[in-house]
Each structure stands twice: as structure tokens, then as C-alpha cells.
Amino acid sequence: MTTSKLDSSSEVIGAPPLDASQFHHTPFFCEENVYLLCKQLCTSGVADAEGSDLFVVFISNDKKQVPLWHQKASQRADGVILWDYHVICIQIKKEGDSSPLVWDLDSSLSFPSPLASYVSETIRPSFQLFSDFQRFFRVVHAPIFLHSFASDRRHMKDSIGNWTAKPPAYEAIVAEDGTVHNLNEYIEISTADGTISIGLDSINSVYSQKLGVLVSESQLEEFFSLLS
């Protein structure tokens, strides 16, 4: 995960925010941070032991330019930054009528944040953007992701093999089938591949497909309301 230069132009009710420092975080390795976050949420009892209530969400587009607000890495007052891609976790609480929760270790918002608040403050769908900056969301069920994801971190090296950002100290993540790198499959997001309609087929796909389903920013909240 890297940034580009951008031209200048709520709390969860009833629960205090958790401290993001309790979770492992390596700057610019958001996919690995979310992988470890999902595992920790499962083992700590915050999520289902198998992660059935968790979804990993990759945010990107054709141009690899996605503006997000309230990001800690930003140097602007409004917290906006231009990522090539970003990864978050969304949790659906099975009990009660609680809103889906967004776990974003790079966000300055409450941790976790209600999905509606996160969309309003971080995605800002009401903010008029050029088409090159439209955000698309690859939603992957966490149990599938934890079994299938792999990264040897090659995307964080330059043309002569030097690191562009300091890598995590732990070993690279290898998929259960032995695959050593497939991050590119998750972050290759084409507008043409977006989900045309939200319905039973897309819900079935997110629970069965390795790469989940692709939804637009206008479909994200609707999609998770159907999963709830």
C-alpha cells in the first residue's frame, strides 16, 4: 500500500472505543495488518472464533488512486490521502440491531466505527470526485481470506529490489495451499467487473468465492444491510 500526492483543493454507542495500539500495525502493509487483526479479533472473542462475522474489504480502482479521509498517514488537516489501495475489516454483529463495524487501523476515527459513520466521514460519497477517483470495494469473507491470502511483499520493493517501506519483522504470509503471493489478485479491481445488482447471487458469492464480490461505493451499505 502506497500513497500519491493529492492536490490541495462517532463513537460506537454503548461501547468505548478499543485502543488500536493493541493490534499489530506496520505502515503501508494494510493487507497484512488486517489479516492479523482478523485473527486477533477471533482469538480474543470480539469476533466469532472462525471469523464468520468478519469481512475483509479491499478498496481500490482501475487507476490505483483512491482518496480516503481521516487517515493517520495524511499530512493535511482534513486527513485526506490518496492510496493506491487500502484494506479494512467490517464486522457484522449477529445479535441485536447493531450497525456493522469498521476496523481501520489507519483511521483517526473511533475504533471501531459504525459503517454508516465511516462511509460518511471516510468515503464521503457526497463529495464530487472525478471518475478516476471513484472507489470500488472487494468484499471477501474472512474465513476464506485467512485460508487463501498470501503475500511475499514483492509489491513493496523497487526495480532493483530495495524496500520502499520497512517490512514487518515476522515471516511473510503463505496460504494454506502453499501459495506464496496472490495479493495482486485482490487489488486488481476493474470498473467493468463491478457488481451490477445486489441480491442473492452476490450474497452467495461472498460466502463461497476466494475473491468475494466487487461493489461500488453506492452499493456498500446496502450490501452489508443484506448480510446483516
Closest to 140 in 3D by CA, of 81, 32, 55, 36: 55
Catalytic, out of 30, 38, 42, 89? 30
Note whether 143 and 51 are within 8 A (CB). yes
38 is annotated as an active-site residue: no
Q: What is the pLDDT, as a whole number, of residue 17?
A: 53
Q: What is the pLDDT, as a whole number, of residue 191?
A: 76
3-state secondary structure of 71: strand
Q: What is the pLDDT, as a whole number, of residue 97?
A: 65
Q: What is the pLDDT, as a whole number, of residue 210?
A: 97
30 is annotated as an active-site residue: yes
Print pLDDT tens along the chain (228 aa).
Answer: 777 655 544 344 444 457 899 999 999 999 999 999 999 999 999 999 999 999 999 999 999 999 999 999 999 999 999 999 999 999 998 766 689 999 999 999 999 999 999 999 999 987 878 888 999 999 999 999 999 999 999 999 999 999 999 999 999 999 999 999 999 999 999 877 766 688 899 999 999 999 999 999 999 999 999 997
Calculated CA dihedral for residues 114, 11, 106, 143, nearest 10 degrees: -40
Q: What is the pLDDT, as a whole number, of residue 10?
A: 38
Catalytic, out of 42, 70, 89, 104? 104
152 is annotated as an active-site residue: no
Residue 36 and residue 211: Cα distance in Å, rounded?
18
Closest to 82 in 3D by CA, of 101, 69, 95, 98: 69
Residue 182 and residue 175: Cα distance in Å, rounded?
9
Note whether 123 and 83 are within 8 A (CB). no
Catalytic, out of 38, 42, 70, 86? 86
Backbone angles phi, psi at 26, to 5 degrees: -115, 120
Burial profile 71-82: b = 16 or more Cβ within 10 angstroms, e = fewer: beebeeeebbbb
Q: Is the pTM here over 0.95, yes or no?
A: no
